[in-house]
Amino acid sequence: MPKSKFVDFKAVKAAITMEQVLQHYGLMDQFKRSGDSLSGPCPIHKGSNPTQFRVSISKNIWNCFSECKHGGNTLDFITRMENVSVHAAALKAIEWFDLDRDAMSASSETDEEHSSQTVKSAPTAPPKPVARKPEPIPEKSTPNKPLKFRLDKLEREHPYLTERGLTLETIVDFGVGYCAKGMMAERIAIPILNPEGQVVAYAGRVPSEPEGDTPKYKLPQGFRKSLELFNADRAFKEPRDMPLVIVEGFFDCMKLHQLGCRKVVALMGSTLSAAQEELVRQHTNRHSQVIVMLDEDEAGRAGREDIAVRLAKFVYVKVHTFEQEGRQPENLSAEEMAALFA
C-alpha cells in the first residue's frame, strides 16, 4: 500500500451506505426489507439462516447474530468481506463508489495507522505537529460507470413538467418523468448520459419549490457530476460550426433544446470543472464559438467570468447577460431565442 495515501475513514463511512455496499456485492436480492432493517444470510461467514444477519438502513450498521457474533459499520463489513485492513477497505470503497478522492483524504491525525507510527518513532519527545499537508490520494480519472438499470414507469405527463414549460415531446426526448417509487421516489427523474450516450446517473428533482434547506436535486452517491455535461451526447453531434451554448441547469438545457437550440449543454451548477473544460476542448476547434449563458444572479455572474476566461484560450467565447436580475435561460421566449442566434 503506498504510504502517501491518507484516508479520512469518517468521511468514507459518511459517504457510503450499507445498502450500497450490499449492492456492490450483489447481495441485495438475498435481503428482506422490513422498516429500517434488512435481514438475510450472513455474507461474512456465509451462513444460510435468512435472519442471522441484520442491517440498520438508517444507522448503516450490521450485526451477525450467528457465527460471527459481531457487527460494525460499512468499513468493518468491507474489512471482513475482503479480509483486509480498515485502511485498505476504505481505499476499496473510494474506488468502488468513485468517491471524491480529495474529500476522502485526511490530515494525518485522523489516519489512525499513520498517527500510531508517528508516536512509535518518537517515544521520548511528544510528536511534533505535522506541518506538511498530507498528499492527497492520487486523482484517478475513473469515469462514471454506465448504469445497468433504467428507471421505468416514469410518469411523463406530470404537472410539474408542464408548469416548467416542457412539451411532451421534450419530456419523452430527454426521458424525464415523475418517479413514484424506487431510488428517486417522489421526484422528477432526469437521466444523465455520458458523451457516448450511456446513462450514468439519474438526478432527482423535487417537483415543487422545496422548503428550507431541502436540496432541490438528489444525485446518486458516488456519481461525479463534474465529469459530465448534461446533454453532451447530443450536443456534440451537432455541426462544429454551430455555437455551443453552455447553461447551468437541466431545465435551462431542455427548454433551449425545445426552442430549437440543439447544441446546448448544462453544467449542473454554475462552475466549469477541469473535466468539463476538457470535454468542451475535445469537441471544439479554434474556430468554434461558445455562448456562456448562466443565470443572472451572483453565482451565475461569478461562474461566467471564470468560464469565459478559461474557454477563451481555445474557442471564441460570447457571454450572454440578461438585463433582469434573476433571469435564467429557461425563461427565454422563442422570439428572444431567435434573436440570439440571428
Residues that bind Zn ion (CB under 5 A): 42, 44-45, 64, 67-68
Instruction: State in angstroms the smallest separation of the CB of 46 from Zn ion.
Output: 8
Q: Which is nearer to Zn ion, 49 or 108 (CB)?
A: 49
Instruction: State in angstroms the smallest separation of the CB of 63 from Zn ion.
Output: 9
Q: Which is nearer to Zn ion, 52 or 258 (CB)?
A: 52
Instruction: State in angstroms the smallest separation of the CB of 30 from Zn ion.
Output: 13
As a whole number of angstroms, the distance between CA 136 and CA 95 comes to 14
With CA atoms as reference, report the closest residue to 186 among 154, 224, 214, 221: 154
Q: Which is nearer to Zn ion, 70 or 218 (CB)?
A: 70
Q: Which is nearer to Zn ion, 27 or 103 (CB)?
A: 27
Q: Does the CA dihedral 158-161-165-166 come out positive or negative? A: negative
Where are the alpha helices (H) located in 27-104, listed in sequence order? 74-82, 86-96
Q: Are 40 and 50 in contact (CB under 8 A)?
A: yes
Q: Which is nearer to Zn ion, 62 or 174 (CB)?
A: 62
| E strand segments, 228-288 | 244-247, 264-266
With CA atoms as reference, report the closest residue to 230 among 258, 204, 203: 203
Q: Which is nearer to Zn ion, 28 or 68 (CB)?
A: 68
As a whole number of angstroms, the distance between CA 98 and CA 85 comes to 20
Instruction: State in angstroms the smallest separation of the CB of 208 from Zn ion.
Output: 44
In the chain, the amino acid numbered 162 is T
With CA atoms as reference, report the closest residue to 74 among 134, 10, 121: 10
Instruction: State in angstroms the smallest separation of the CB of 70 from Zn ion.
Output: 7
DSSP 98-151: T--TTTTB--GGG-HHHHHHHHHH-SSSPPPP--SPPPPPPP--PPPPPPS---
Q: Which is nearer to Zn ion, 68 or 103 (CB)?
A: 68
Instruction: State in angstroms the smallest separation of the CB of 41 from Zn ion.
Output: 9
Q: Give the three-state DSSP class for 270.
A: coil
Backbone angles phi, psi at 32, to 5 degrees: -105, 135
Q: Which is nearer to Zn ion, 54 or 101 (CB)?
A: 54
Instruction: State in angstroms the smallest separation of the CB of 202 from Zn ion.
Output: 34
What contacts 172, CB < 8 A, 6 or more positions away?
Answer: 156
Instruction: State in angstroms the smallest separation of the CB of 300 from Zn ion.
Output: 53
What the block records as the C-alpha cell of 291 is 455562448
